[in-house]
Amino acid sequence: QVQLVESGGGLVQPGGSLRLSCAASGFSFSSYVMSWYRQAPGKERELLSQITTTNGYTYYADSVKGRFTISRDNAKNTLYLQMNSLKPEDTAVYYCNTRRGGMDYWGKGTLVTVSS
């Protein structure tokens, strides 16, 4: 069964950094595009970043471009999101995602709170 487990969230001050991880299992991780999404209270879940099966092509939403970096370690079946220059508006639950067999798979999320 596909399982995605996010970790690394927490409370940080504005301008700080966090590195999120997503441990994947139950599928051939290296064969699938992976994504990071986030959802803040009262808002739609938004796509933040995507990465191809290698650390080649990447996509970033305008809101995080230049501040966040997506990467993957296929040997460890792990997806990462390095978040720098964090802002209060980055406060949200962050989810990793993959699409397989026409279905979306999600982790349970990790909470990032940016506050002074």
pLDDT digits (tens, 9 = 90+) for 100-116: 888 999 999 999 999 99
Name, in order, each residue with C-beta under 8 angstroms of 12's C-beta and a sequence gap of 6 or more.
18, 86, 112, 113, 114
pLDDT digits (tens, 9 = 90+) for 59-83: 999 999 999 999 999 999 999 999 9
- Is the Cα dihedral 32, 85, 9, 111 positive or negative? negative
Average pLDDT over residues 37-53: 96
CA separation, residue 105 to residues 2, 10, 25, 46, 115 (Å) = 7, 23, 11, 15, 30
**Does residue 86 register a pLDDT over 90?**
yes
Name, in order, each residue with C-beta under 8 angstroms of 25's C-beta and a sequence gap of 6 or more.
2, 3, 77
